[in-house]
Chains A and B, each alone.
Chain A
Amino acid sequence: MTYEWIIRIITENWPMFLRGAAVTLYISLIGTVIGAAIGLFAGVVRTIPVPERGFKRIFLKIVNGILTIYIECFRGTPMIVQAMAIFYGSSLLFNLDMNRTFAAIFIVSINTGAYMAEIVRGGVISVDKGQFEAAQAIGMTHWQTMRNVVLPQVIRNILPATGNQFVINIKDTSVLNVISVSELYFMTKSIAGNNFHYFESFFVASILYLIMTLTVTKILHRLEKRMDGPESYSLQR
């Protein structure tokens, strides 16, 4: 009878499932993009060579200190706890009534940013030292070297890790049900709460999660292939 119940649940609740899946995809996509941008910024700042003395050294030291605290705090605590603390804390401490979807995107973004900062830092370090030297020898400044030579290589190098983070985010947005964001898990819970068929309802949800993660993985693989360009080149006559 389970099979019949699954069909029935889908036919009766498909708009809710789809809306939940859409919210999940929306939050994780925006969160991953913003998070990647934060990570790129933080990772690049943390790899700026610190001069031996002067104002710039003090400034960089302070900024690096702040970034380290940010990264360690958000990597070191569960997102479910951050969600509760930020959502309820903002209303209690700052009298801020956050929109739930906004809060969700905010939390996913800063979380992803903390992880991506380390991934980007690793990406910059893994670029061959000779690339930096060749760019400097031509007379490029640090920023010109980064923009024209290093970052394009870093972005290619971190693409698999970014895709991985996106997949993690699709799954982990489910913890945001604790602040009543109407993502897929939250929707499924209320559907199951009405029909009392928990297994069947969550079976449908798992299929939806799987479709989303597999699609994203596939798209990112295509993107990587495209960035690598053609295997061969044509001779110029």
Chain B
Amino acid sequence: MDKVIEIRHLSKFFGANEVLKDINLSVGKGEVVSIIGSSGSGKSTLLRCINLLEKPSGGEIIYNGQNILAEKHNVSLYRRHLGMVFQQFNLFNNHNALSNCVVGQVEVLKRSKDEATETAMKYLRNVGMEQYIHAKPKQLSGGQKQRVAIARALSMDPDVLLFDEPTSALDPEMVGEVLKVMKDLAGSGLTMIIVTHEMEFAREVSDRVVFMDQGVIAEEGTPEQIFNNPKQERTREFLKRTLK
């Protein structure tokens, strides 16, 4: 399988605090990888290191054969190949739903306004938000915002889509609508890395599950292995706490 992203010996310090220790992880093309673990285990930091919202302290991130942590590597150029969906949605407050999906395409990818609008509409339709294109973020519910945010990320035609706890800030009745969109995406062959607390969802859609604990990858394997036959004691402990 072609590797899209390969992480080698990645470490991250916040001050003297080592929050990521010697992380090795590779993600293949079309693979859906879920990262689970308790709060503070470093999973969000790892995701944010992948698109350099946090600067890794050491190690390598290989994207399409190139080490993007090398000096002089163009960060903006790299980031446009990765889509990111945030826990807090982070839709641009000064743009309506459609414009949120258009502005990046026009500015970063230099697409024409018409082409960008067409692409944006396609993905807004996919997430079921085509009726709300004129609405500003503050006029939308959490679930609606997150669906627009997913459409915005998809509009950039990314190679990899990163999800940072996309349902954690949602009211319970809105979690379903977002997970359904993500499930459809996972089935479409898109490469996805998902940090999540939704265990059922992770088990259902992932090709591979990574369990993190105290800044290290404690265990990884197929959903079957992790959820039914965890090898590590701490994985068993974590699952016992979260799966009631």
Chain A residues packing against B (C-beta within 8 Å): 128, 130-131, 133-141, 144, 148-149, 152-153, 156, 229, 232-237
* B88 and A130 contacting across the interface, CB-CB below 8 Å: yes
* A156 and B86 contacting across the interface, CB-CB below 8 Å: no
Residue interface mask B97-140, A partner, CB < 8 A = 1: 00000011001100000000000000000000011111110010
A-chain residues with CB within 8 Å of residue B88 when the two chains form the complex = 130
* A138 and B94 contacting across the interface, CB-CB below 8 Å: no
* A144 and B53 contacting across the interface, CB-CB below 8 Å: no
Interface of A is mostly: helix
* A140 and B134 contacting across the interface, CB-CB below 8 Å: no
Q: In the bound complex, what is the Cα–Cα distance between A137 and B85 (angstroms)?
A: 9
* B94 and A156 contacting across the interface, CB-CB below 8 Å: yes
Shortest CB distance B129–A (Å): 10
The 10 closest A-B pairs by CB, nearest first: A139-B80, A130-B90, A134-B90, A137-B84, A138-B104, A152-B94, A233-B135, A139-B79, A139-B108, A235-B131
* B86 and A133 contacting across the interface, CB-CB below 8 Å: yes
B-chain residues with CB within 8 Å of residue A148 when the two chains form the complex = 92, 103, 107
Q: In the bound complex, what is the Cα–Cα distance between A134 and B107 (angstroms)?
A: 14
A-chain residues with CB within 8 Å of residue B95 when the two chains form the complex = 149
B-chain residues with CB within 8 Å of residue A232 when the two chains form the complex = 139
Of B94, B96, B103, chain A has the most CB atoms within 10 Å of the CB of B94
**Pairs across A and B, CB under 8 Å, 29 listed:** A130-B88, A130-B89, A131-B92, A133-B84, A133-B86, A134-B86, A134-B92, A135-B92, A137-B53, A137-B82, A137-B84, A138-B84, A138-B153, A139-B76, A139-B78, A139-B80, A139-B108, A139-B156, A141-B76, A149-B92, A149-B103, A152-B94, A233-B96, A233-B134, A233-B135, A234-B134, A235-B132, A236-B131, A236-B132
State the interface size on chain B (CB cutoff 8 A): 37
Which chain B residue has the least Cβ–Cβ distance from A147? B107
Q: Which of A140, A153, A234 contacts B107 (CB 8 A)?
A: A140
Which chain B residue has the least Cβ–Cβ distance from A137? B84
* B92 and A229 contacting across the interface, CB-CB below 8 Å: no
Shortest CB distance A130–B (Å): 4
* B93 and A136 contacting across the interface, CB-CB below 8 Å: no
* B91: Cβ under 8 A from any A Cβ: yes
* B77: Cβ under 8 A from any A Cβ: yes
* A233 and B139 contacting across the interface, CB-CB below 8 Å: yes
* B206: Cβ under 8 A from any A Cβ: no
Q: In the bound complex, what is the Cα–Cα distance between A232 and B136 (angstroms)?
A: 9
Q: Which of A131, A135, A137 contacts B51 (CB 8 A)?
A: A137
A-chain residues with CB within 8 Å of residue B89 when the two chains form the complex = 130
Shortest CB distance A33–B (Å): 22
Which chain B residue has the least Cβ–Cβ distance from A133? B53
Q: In the bound complex, what is the Cα–Cα distance between A144 and B131 (angstroms)?
A: 28
* B130 and A137 contacting across the interface, CB-CB below 8 Å: no
